[in-house]
Chains A and B, each alone.
Chain A
Amino acid sequence: MIDLQTGRDLTREELSELVADLAARPDEWRHLVDHDPDVRTYEQLLRDEHVAVWLICWMDDHDTGFHDHDVSCGALAVAQGTVVEERLALGGPPASRRLGAGQALHFAASDIHRVAHGGDGPAITINAYSPPLWRMGAYETKPSGELQRHSISYAEELRPLGVR
């Protein structure tokens, strides 16, 4: 566990600094890296009243699908490899950006996005949420084009079934 005592919720800009800093210090988390071709793997680096920090390992085809973070804002920094983020837009293609090692982004609780592995070998990201992720919205597009939101516990994301 990393040591961090904020005593308050952090802004997404502060979270962005936090994950960028951690991503640049692999000695803190290198021993936890574990890539699985079938699923993203997660390690929780910190959880307290105000902040949760995860290490996520990505491989080809791993994709979160569109989701929101309910009441938590967050940030993500790439420590290795490449990921692609898309922001959901109605009536047009999603706004897309590609992030490589050393780059970070942040998002508000109200943002709807997806993150997918960007190719070029296994990727590692450091993600942080404040307050700690609790419930999420997972978005599904029906064949008719209707968009549906499913309220899910963050456990579905942090401890997905099928992970060793």
Chain B
Amino acid sequence: MHTDVHQHLWPQALVSALTWRREAPLLRRSGHDWILRLRDEPDCAFDPAAHDPEERARLLRRDGVDRALLAMSSPLGVEGLPREEAQPLLDAHNSGLLELGGPFGVWGAVSLRPPDPADVDALLDAGAVGISLPAGALSGPDGVARCASLLERLERRDAPLLVHPGPGPWRHWRPQAYAESGAPLWWPALTRYVADMNAAWHAFVAFGRPAHPRLRVVFAMLAGGAPLHAERLTARGGPAGAIADERIYYDTSSYGARTIDAVVRCVGIDQLVYGSDRPVVDVGATAPLGAAAREAMVGANVARLLGEARLAVAS
């Protein structure tokens, strides 16, 4: 079984619900195009054709990948909306994806206002492989504490957590005046996303791990490169050994040979899993470190992350 742990696919019901919204996140028609408006990112084009399940399945077959795990596009900020606003969007997302079946698995998305472990149970019972949370919700000791009931339930159910870039409800970034600043579309992805993922990783190893010793977590986009700072973490008195945590995994989304290899040097090949972030970016299911490394990242390591196989290493 070869798996891509990180893709996004917006079900029609979610797209429809976003077009009815009056405040961001929303979708608007502009001539023949769709425009996606977020609260604190530049407007961008949205292509419904990129979210066609049949085409997505075809791309999986092309890449020799058997399964894609679909996650909420957390930069939308849905998880942090007031629950009565969030729930229709979350339901449209979760139900629409869980109905797909075939080569698709689902990371369930939950409301954070307030976090409710019953949501975790309901999604796992409905077939989700685990739960995703926005990095902004976990980017400090307070966030980890507020999400504790969700993390505890995941740990008890032996199900993994995906940490994905996105804002949390209790840490508001000042909306950027993108139109005036001239910032390009990639600006948030290289600044706030990286900072949030880095903060979430450090918060998890410092506060989350002691409270949830058996929870398996996968950080998207190599956790913003957080493990590369391990020497500095140790020098500053942080938790030494964080990079040797066997239950923390890193998806490779958007990265290539140099950065993946650098993270392998820090955490070892057994902790990396293949995630493409399709359709946001798509570097294809390449093997930048060789066939054996690819096999580990799409196969054996994913099986351990999902609890489908025991640790291959001695434990």
Chain A: number of interface residues, binned into ranges: 20 to 34
Q: Within 8 Å CB of A161, what residues of B?
A: 291-292, 295
Residue-wise, chain B 258-269 has the 8 Å CB interface mask toward A (1 for contact) of 000100111011
A44 touches B295 (CB 8 A): no
Report the separation of the CA atoms of residues A156 and B288 in the bound assembly, to the nearest whole angstrom: 12
Instruction: Check B175 for interface membership: any CB of A closer than 8 A.
Output: no
Instruction: Check A154 for interface membership: any CB of B closer than 8 A.
Output: yes
Given contacts A45-B314, A161-B292, contact A153 B269 (CB under 8 A): yes
Q: B250: shortest Cβ distance to chain A, in Å?
A: 14
Instruction: Check B293 for interface membership: any CB of A closer than 8 A.
Output: yes
B289 touches A153 (CB 8 A): yes
Report the separation of the CA atoms of residues A161 and B300 in the bound assembly, to the nearest whole angstrom: 11
Report the separation of the CA atoms of residues A132 and B300 in the bound assembly, to the nearest whole angstrom: 20
Instruction: Check B290 for interface membership: any CB of A closer than 8 A.
Output: yes
A159 touches B296 (CB 8 A): yes
Instruction: Check A60 for interface membership: any CB of B closer than 8 A.
Output: no
B240 touches A159 (CB 8 A): no
Residue-wise, chain B 275-315 has the 8 Å CB interface mask toward A (1 for contact) of 00000000000000111110110001000000000001111
A152 touches B240 (CB 8 A): no
B264 touches A1 (CB 8 A): no
Report the separation of the CA atoms of residues A1 and B268 in the bound assembly, to the nearest whole angstrom: 15
Report the separation of the CA atoms of residues A55 and B312 in the bound assembly, to the nearest whole angstrom: 13
Residue from A52, A152, A159 with most neighbouring chain B CB atoms (10 Å): A159
Report the separation of the CA atoms of residues A159 and B314 in the bound assembly, to the nearest whole angstrom: 14
A1 touches B293 (CB 8 A): no
Q: Within 8 Å CB of A154, what residues of B?
A: 269
Residue-wise, chain A 133-160 has the 8 Å CB interface mask toward B (1 for contact) of 0110000000000000000111110111
Task: Report 21 cross-chain contacts, Cβ distance below 8 Å, ordered by A residue.
Answer: A1-B314, A44-B268, A44-B270, A47-B244, A47-B268, A47-B270, A48-B241, A49-B240, A52-B268, A134-B264, A153-B264, A153-B289, A153-B292, A153-B293, A155-B292, A155-B293, A155-B296, A156-B291, A156-B292, A156-B293, A161-B295
Which A residues lie at the B interface, using CB under 8 A? 1, 5, 7, 29, 32, 43-45, 47-49, 52, 55, 132, 134-135, 152-156, 158-161
